[in-house]
Amino acid sequence: MKTPDTRAAARPRRLLFQKYFTALFVAVVVPLLANGASEAWFGYRDQREVLSQRLHAEARSAAGKIQGFLADITDQLQWTVQLPWRDGMDERHRFDVLRLMRQVPAVLEVTLVDGQGIERLHVSRVDPDVVDGGTDRNNDPAVLGARSGRIWYGPVSLYQGSEPHMTIAVAGAREINGVAIAVVNLKLIWDVIQAIHVGQSGDAFVLDRPGRLVAHPDISLVLRGEGDPSAARLKQLQQAAIAGGGETAEGIDAERRSVIAAMAPIPGPDWMAFVEQPAAEALTPIRAALWRTGLLLLAGALFAAMLAYLLARRMTGPIALLEKGAEQIGAGHFDHKIEIATGDELEGLARRFNEMAAELAISQERSARIARLKRFLAPQVAELVEGSDQETLLDSHRAEVVVIFCDLRGFTGFSGAAAPEEVMGLLQEYYEALGGIITHFEATLTCFMGDGVMLLLNAPVPCPDPALRGVEMGVEMQRSVQSLMAGWRARGHAIGFGVGLAKGPATVGRIGYEGRSDYTAIGSVVNLASRICAAAEDGQVLIDATVAAEVGNAFRLAPLGTRPLRGFAEAVPVFAVQPHDRDVVVLPAAK
Amino acid sequence: MKSGHHNALLSPSRRRGLLASILAIVCLPRGIAAQSSAKLYRIGWVTAQRAASLAPYLDAFRTGLADLGYLEGRNLVIEYRYADDAIERVPELAAELARIPVDLLVAQGAAAFEIHGLSIPVVYGISADPVSAGFADSLARPRGNMTGLTFMAVEMNGKRLELLWEIIPELRRVAIIGNPEHPGSHLERGFSEATGQRLGLRIDYFPTRNRDELTAALIAMAEDPPQAISVLADGFAIQNRREIIDSAMSHGVPVISGWPIFAQSGAICTYGPRLTESYRRLAYYVDRILKGAKPADLPIERPTKFELAVNLKSAKALGITIPQSVEARADTVIE
């Protein structure tokens, strides 16, 4: 049964540590986590918003640059329709066109149509020029478009399935100025588009409304023309961007990178400029912020764990010390000191424990002493002696004492004949009866001698009227034992009881050795009392002259004359107490 | 509330320091790796021409490579093979380069037509139309393990005659000097003759395969000078440009050709794609292929920039007034 006990004793301490640790850790970590998580979430949202805004700004900027490229061409084209088609102006028109082609390398060829819609001039960088071609271009969509909106952008077409070209037509301010139709090699937008960088590895590209790649930093992609799978992925990005409204689109770009893209419209030719940034790069600040938050949370959690561990240790350590101390004190080691210097309530508690141990030590010593005193003193007297710090009372001194002897008559014969159980049972009853009376009268018990008892009064604690008290006690003892003996006699045991008292000076004190001492009186009065007792018949309480003199009228005494007593040279006067007059003994109050 | 917590843990400057050291730890090995893995590329350059005639274009090509981070002697080795006008030697030279081996082959001009059955990628710069040369299904779809760009020299011949016609009033007779062994030469001649017909010109064609034929041609022209000479630019012509031009000038005959180098040597004007630009562009193909792109994924590019060079000094010496319409277009004017 011991092992489970120690285990049960060990477990709660661990649990307390765990409880403290958990509570402290949770108290720090939960708010930290909640705060970190909310910050991470809001930070993420803000960063995504910032990213979206940045990419859209980049997209608008890219769209602006493409528009700038086109505006350069249309501005230059305007110069070719600045003058009307009148006689003698042909050379002037040609000159304007040549200058335009010198200025704008992207223009591959220019056709001028006069106010009547008749083709007047065709200048190309590659093909032979045509002057006064004379073709009616009135139904040419370029001419119609330019006439209705000043500037007309044709669809993107691929030269030999590769280079993207577009026709741009510009009408003059007056109809007579005609229309200039230019074929523009869109490959040259590359100069513009390749210069656009988004972040470290992000770039821009342009798609037309049907999703055909118009411009891309990787010119090969543009030149591959229709049906290229890489370009198809960009078309998917375009669809995602259109579907997403003003939001950024996520997808796979031509280089198979996972990207975040934003779109901005290019109104004139109805194109769309896209900027894209690899998701990994675009989200780097977000990821960094999340990592930072995570690491700080981890650091915070570790710090909290450390703090919780230290605090829990600080709290449970003293408690363990207290428990150990209590165990030691419980085992009777009252000199055990609990050393706790935490400066808080626990230190106070330890102090209380130590004080308690000291007091327990004192108390135990006291109760040990009382127990020793109780061997011969009545309990109340013992406590009185102990408490009053009058242990000097026990020191040997001469005192006027009343010595009381009592014993059974015919007991030796009885004990020889009767069964041991019966002998011991009888003695038990007998001593129980006497014990109560001895205690009551606060008599000092010096010794048992079989069925005989020697008692003292007025020593070690003085009492008033010791003689009267002794007589009263003797009478009471006689009465009590006599009532017991009625039963014994009924069982056929011929046993009697006699009491003898004497008063006189005697040396009183403790005799014995370490751990085993008795209190006794030595002097002739002891012998006298013993002899008087021996002289007493069953039912008699005999007293000497001194006692008789002191009892006075309190009891009726019957002088029995002098009796020769062994050990005494002269015969000694002896008196018998007549108990019948006083059936009820008024017991003096205990001190 | 949390930022306070952070600041308590780490001061901002300390945090920056920490961040910097973390970055250093993260980035340093990558930097070292990049350095140690800097590959040495080896490319082959093969041409049917001689080294001297290609010097400016080779420079342009090397500049293009340098712009893309390829420097000879550092991370690039170029193995040069010149057939020295013996085009039949090209297959042998190309095979030799393939045995070295090289990562890819750059075939200049006509040499591209002579390279067959090599497993390494080929980047070419050719005058001819690659589709009709059988190099591609379309410009967007190069065939096999070859791609590159076209200088589009063929179409330009018509434009040159047009320019001559504009510069010289009453132009009726033009002589053309061309090397019939230069692939696509017949196309150039065809374009020239078609335009001449349209403009009402008489075209005399002088095939010049070698110096003997050239000398003969120059003598013939000296006896009966044409109104102008159009030189079909090829390696041979470039090589002998001074002799051609000096001879023509001495008889008061203006010369026109495709590449500006002729104008610099005294031709009255040249018109054609900006060749240096094209050679520079070849480096782009080299770069892409060295980085793992398949030649078939790199469409064939045509020149986008054209160059008109006018030599006013020669014009003045010949008593020719360059019309304003031509001068206004000139990208380069030599005075």
Integer Cα distance of B229 and B253 in angstroms: 7
The arrangement of strands across the sheet holding B255-257 comes to: B202-207, B173-178, B228-231, B255-257, B269-273, B306-311, B332-334
User: How many Å separate Cα B131 from the centre of its chain?
Assistant: 18
Which segments of A164-283 does DSSP mark as H helices, in order? 190-193, 219-223, 229-243, 279-282
pTM across the whole model: 0.66
> Could you tell me which chain A residue has the CA closest to the CA of B158?
A128
Q: Do B198 and A128 make contact, defined as CB atoms within 8 angstroms?
A: yes
Residue range B153-273+306-334 forms a domain whose CATH class is alpha beta
Q: Do B304 and A188 make contact, defined as CB atoms within 8 angstroms?
A: yes
By DSSP bridging, strand A572-578 and strand B306-311 are unpaired
Q: Do B5 and A187 make contact, defined as CB atoms within 8 angstroms?
A: no
Integer Cα distance of A560 and A546 in angstroms: 14
Q: Burial code of A35-57, b = ≥16 C-beta within 10 A, e = fewer?
A: bbeebbeebbeebbeebbebbbe
Residue B92 in this model has a pLDDT that exceeds 60: yes
Integer Cα distance of B254 and B262 in angstroms: 12
Q: What is the pLDDT of residues B163-193, one digit of tens each?
A: 999 999 889 999 999 888 776 677 788 888 8
B141 CA to chain A: closest CA distance, Å?
7
> Could you tell me which chain A residue has the CA closest to the CA of B274?
A105
Integer Cα distance of A458 and A469 in angstroms: 10
Q: What is the CATH number of the domain that holds A523?
A: 3.30.70.1230
The widest CA-to-CA distance across chain A, in whole angstroms, is: 193
Residue A117 DSSP code: S
Which chain B residues are closer than 8 Å to A189 by Cβ? none
By DSSP bridging, strand A107-113 and strand A271-278 are unpaired
Integer Cα distance of B50 and B154 in angstroms: 22
* Residue B213: band (very low, low, confident or very high) from pLDDT cuts 50, 70, 90: very high
Q: Do B299 and A223 make contact, defined as CB atoms within 8 angstroms?
A: yes
pLDDT along chain A (591 residues), means of 10: 45 72 87 88 88 92 94 92 86 89 90 92 88 90 91 90 91 90 92 90 91 90 86 88 86 88 92 91 84 88 89 82 85 84 85 86 83 77 68 79 91 84 88 90 85 88 88 90 86 87 90 78 90 88 89 84 84 83 45 39
Which residue in the set A39, A185, A219 is minimally distant from B2, CB to CB? A39
- Tokens in use for A353? 């424990």
Chain B residues with a Cβ under 8 Å from any Cβ in chain A: 1-2, 5-6, 9, 131, 138-141, 152, 155-156, 158-159, 162, 195, 198, 288, 293, 297-302, 304-306, 324-325, 328-329, 331
The letter for the amino acid at B284 is Y
Which chain A residues are closer than 8 Å to B306 by Cβ? 105, 125
User: How many Å separate Cα A19 from the centre of its chain?
Assistant: 5
Which chain A residues are closer than 8 Å to B156 by Cβ? 126
Q: Do B139 and A160 make contact, defined as CB atoms within 8 angstroms?
A: yes
> Could you tell me which chain A residue has the CA closest to the CA of B281?
A219
Q: Do B328 and A39 make contact, defined as CB atoms within 8 angstroms?
A: no
Integer Cα distance of B216 and A187 in angstroms: 45
Q: Burial code of A63-101, b = ≥16 C-beta within 10 A, e = fewer?
A: bebbbebbeebbebbbebbebbbeeeebeebbebbbbbb
Query: Do A100 and A72 touch, CB atoms closer than 8 A?
Result: no
Q: What is the pLDDT of residues B240-280, one digit of tens each?
A: 889 999 999 999 999 999 888 899 999 999 998 888 889 99
* Complete DSSP assignment for A527-566: HHHHHHHHHPPTT-EEE-HHHHHHHTTSSEEEEEEEE--T
The number of distinct structural domains making up chain A is 1
Task: Report yes or no: A43 at the B interface, CB cutoff 8 Å.
Answer: no
Q: Do B140 and A299 make contact, defined as CB atoms within 8 angstroms?
A: no
Residue B137 in this model has a pLDDT that exceeds 50: yes
By DSSP bridging, strand A496-513 and strand A516-522 are antiparallel
> Could you tell me which chain B residue has the CA closest to the CA of A32?
B2
Query: Do A253 and A3 touch, CB atoms closer than 8 A?
Result: no
A98 CA to chain B: closest CA distance, Å?
6
Task: Report yes or no: A188 at the B interface, CB cutoff 8 Å.
Answer: yes
Task: Report yes or no: A560 at the B interface, CB cutoff 8 Å.
Answer: no
∠ Cα A12 A15 A20 (to 5°): 130
Which chain B residues are closer than 8 Å to A300 by Cβ? 5
Span B43-150+275-297: which CATH code?
3.40.50.2300
B49 CA to chain A: closest CA distance, Å?
27
Q: For chain B, how far is it from start to end, CA to CA, in angstroms?
A: 76
Instruction: Catalogue the long-range contacts made by A20-27 (C-beta closer than 8 Å, 24 or more residues apart).
Output: A20/A308, A20/A311, A20/A312, A20/A315, A20/A316, A21/A308, A21/A309, A21/A312, A22/A308, A23/A308, A24/A304, A24/A307, A24/A308, A24/A311, A24/A312, A25/A304, A25/A305, A25/A308
Q: Which pLDDT score, from 0 to 100, does residue B6 have?
A: 41
Q: Which pLDDT score, from 0 to 100, does residue A590 have?
A: 40
A47 CA to chain B: closest CA distance, Å?
17
Q: Which pLDDT score, from 0 to 100, does residue A205 have?
A: 93
Q: Which pLDDT score, from 0 to 100, does residue B183 have?
A: 64
Query: Do A208 and A164 touch, CB atoms closer than 8 A?
Result: no
* Dihedral over Cα of A578, A584, A585, A586: its sign: negative
Which chain B residues are closer than 8 Å to A224 by Cβ? 140-141, 297, 299
Which residue in the set B5, B138, B195 is minimally distant from A128, CB to CB? B195
Tracing tokens 């009065």 back to the chain, one arrives at A525
Q: From its phi and psi, is residue A326 left (phi > 0), alpha (psi between -120 and 50) or beta?
A: alpha
3-state SS record for B193-251: HHHHHHHCCEEEEEECCCHHHHHHHHHHHHHCCCCEEEECCCHHHHHCHHHHHHHHHHC
Integer Cα distance of A178 and B136 in angstroms: 41
* Dihedral over Cα of A552, A556, A562, A564: its sign: negative
Which chain A residues are closer than 8 Å to B195 by Cβ? 128
Which residue in the set A98, A160, A296 is minimally distant from B325, CB to CB? A98
B90 CA to chain A: closest CA distance, Å?
29
Task: Report yes or no: A499 at the B interface, CB cutoff 8 Å.
Answer: no
Note whether residue A552 is domain-resident: yes
- The mean pLDDT value of chain B amounts to 84
- Cα-based distances in Å from A586 to A22, A441, A475, A476, A590: 72, 12, 11, 10, 12
Q: Do A35 and B2 make contact, defined as CB atoms within 8 angstroms?
A: yes
Minimal CA–CA distance to A43: which of A298, A249, A294? Answer: A294
Integer Cα distance of A222 and A214 in angstroms: 6
Residue B15 in this model has a pLDDT that exceeds 70: no
Which residue in the set A94, A106, A224 is minimally distant from B299, CB to CB? A224
The widest CA-to-CA distance across chain B, in whole angstroms, is: 100
Task: Report yes or no: A14 at the B interface, CB cutoff 8 Å.
Answer: no
Integer Cα distance of A277 and A203 in angstroms: 7
Side-chain half-sphere CA neighbours of A442 within 13 A: 21
- Tokens in use for B113? 């037509």
A121 CA to chain B: closest CA distance, Å?
14
Q: Do A187 and B304 make contact, defined as CB atoms within 8 angstroms?
A: yes
Instruction: Catalogue the long-range contacts made by B215-224 (C-beta closer than 8 Å, 24 or more residues apart).
Output: B217/B177, B218/B243, B218/B244, B218/B247, B221/B175, B221/B247, B221/B248, B221/B251, B221/B253, B222/B247, B222/B250, B222/B251
Note whether residue A453 is domain-resident: yes
Which chain B residues are closer than 8 Å to A188 by Cβ? 304
Minimal CA–CA distance to A525: which of A495, A567, A486, A578? Answer: A567
Minimal CA–CA distance to B287: which of B67, B126, B113? Answer: B67
Minimal CA–CA distance to B110: which of B3, B196, B237, B225? Answer: B237
The letter for the amino acid at A307 is L
Note whether residue A340 is domain-resident: no
Q: Do B302 and A98 make contact, defined as CB atoms within 8 angstroms?
A: no
Which segments of A261-378 does DSSP mark as H helices, in order? 279-282, 284-330, 345-374
Query: Do A266 and A193 touch, CB atoms closer than 8 A?
Result: no
3-state SS record for A493-504: CCCEEEEEEEEE
Q: How many A/B residue pairs have CB atoms within 8 Å?
A: 82
Integer Cα distance of A297 and A292 in angstroms: 8
Residue-number span of the structural domain to which A570 is assigned: 380-581
- Tokens in use for A133? 């071609």
Minimal CA–CA distance to A493: which of A426, A435, A573, A577? Answer: A426
Q: Please name every residue paired with A170 in a beta bridge, in sequence order, or none if there are none.
A: A151, A180
| Residue extents of the structural domains in chain B | 43-150+275-297, 153-273+306-334
Q: Which pLDDT score, from 0 to 100, does residue B65 have?
A: 95
Integer Cα distance of B285 and B299 in angstroms: 10
Number of other residues whose CB lies within 10 A of the CB of residue A20 = 19
Note whether residue A516 is domain-resident: yes
* Residue B32: band (very low, low, confident or very high) from pLDDT cuts 50, 70, 90: very low
